[in-house]
Amino acid sequence: MSLNTINETSTSEAIIRSQQLNSEVQTILNKAILGEELSVDEACVLFATEGEEAQAVLAAADQVREQRVGNTGSFVVTRNINFTNVCYMGCRFCNFATEKGSKDAEFLTVEQVADRAEEAWQRGATEVCIQGGLHPDIDANYYRNLVIAVKKRVPEIHIHAFSPFEIWYGCKKARLEPEVFLSELKALGLGSMPGTAAEILDTEVRKQLTKNKLTTEEWVRIIRAAHSVGVPTTSTIMYGHVDQPIHWANHLKLLRDIQKDTGGFTEFVPLGFIHYETRLYKDNPDKVRPGPTRDEHFKMHAIARLMLQGHIDNIQASWVKMGPDVAAQMLRSGANDLGGTLMNESISRAAGATHGQEVMPEDMVANIEAAGLSAIQRNTKYQTVRDYTQDPVQPNRIAIQGVA
């Protein structure tokens, strides 16, 4: 049976209490609904469910989502700025990177990045998400100068920038410890960091994906450093390639453990592997899966909600990876956020994603309301910018183009 969004006409409680459920699954879901912590083994049991039991997992996640964050779905108006597609790291799952001398190579100046940030602000964005490849010409001051240029041009915009891999690279260039480097960036205007480059936080899996160039320990070290100096981050997982449910469950537990210590994660974002143009898949089609199944998408968001509840309570569904319609269905399967309206998104498209670069705010609102939730535009820190129950979309209103 293919997993679907929870039908509002059937209550999640009835599904969970079904006599046809395996007693172990029933016990685990009851624990989750009561707010008790699930173990790695229990998460693996839930990942293995099928049919009615899998539907019960989604129902429990929907119930816990309502308990933790209410019946609202959110999104942010932001812009993705990929300042360079040149990267020498050679991660096999990535088709975004190119060589320095390639005709397709791009490396924006800090003023060009500031131009794009200013344009985003003028169009209503509250945030810019800035990331790029590890270009060999990046010097010790590039990341600092980039933040300075954007803040000088658009003082009020929130800068959400630099993955842990970029921070690792910047620290090498500047010969600074992560805490010092991040403190400097924060003082200049860095507001938060994307917790990307996590992939799967398992050494053996990372060796197959990236040759372990940024180890699990290094990723955790930089994330903890960011949190320690007051720079919040997102958290992510990239699943559906050479990984298994045990890796997913351990990854979720590690994120939960970090959050218990630091409280610095703002959200969790599951990112399905886009396989089409990647070397990882093309070189090993018999060993590498072509991304997650539809069922795995639903279970990942649902089980993340159950495992992370009370610690990371914002679960984001990526419409770039799954498409707007499927992402909206995740709002009744554990997720409560649809991420950002997009422009110039390059990384997923380079890997072969078929979904567009941009969804308008009015489309976000429509998708959230179609899921039976109230729509809210938020900022990076999940504070309400606009409540659409109080200020609804007007029929002939021209939507502002945002970008994340």
Q: Which residues are annotated as a binding site for [4Fe-4S] cluster?
A: 87, 91, 94
Q: Which of 373, 378, 318, 376 is nearest to 342 (CA)?
A: 318
> Cα(317)–Cα(75) distance, rounded to whole angstroms?
10
As annotated, the binding site includes: 87, 91, 93-94, 163, 199, 318
Say if CB 344 and CB 403 are below 8 A apart. yes
As annotated, the binding site for (3R)-3-methyl-D-ornithine includes: 163, 318
Q: Which of 142, 77, 89, 137 is nearest to 111 (CA)?
A: 142
> Cα(319)–Cα(325) distance, rounded to whole angstroms?
8
Q: Which residues contact 93 (CB under 8 A, 6 or more apart)?
A: 199, 209, 210, 238, 241, 273, 278, 280, 351
> Cα(320)–Cα(272) distance, rounded to whole angstroms?
10
> Cα(123)–Cα(128) distance, rounded to whole angstroms?
12
> Cα(403)–Cα(400) distance, rounded to whole angstroms?
10
Q: Which residues pair with 77 in a beta bridge?
A: 341
Q: Which residues pair with 378 in a beta bridge?
A: 76, 384
> Cα(214)–Cα(197) distance, rounded to whole angstroms?
8
Q: Which of 292, 280, 222, 247 is nearest to 43 (CA)?
A: 247
Q: Which residues contact 217 (CB under 8 A, 6 or more apart)?
A: none
As annotated, the binding site for S-adenosyl-L-methionine includes: 93, 199
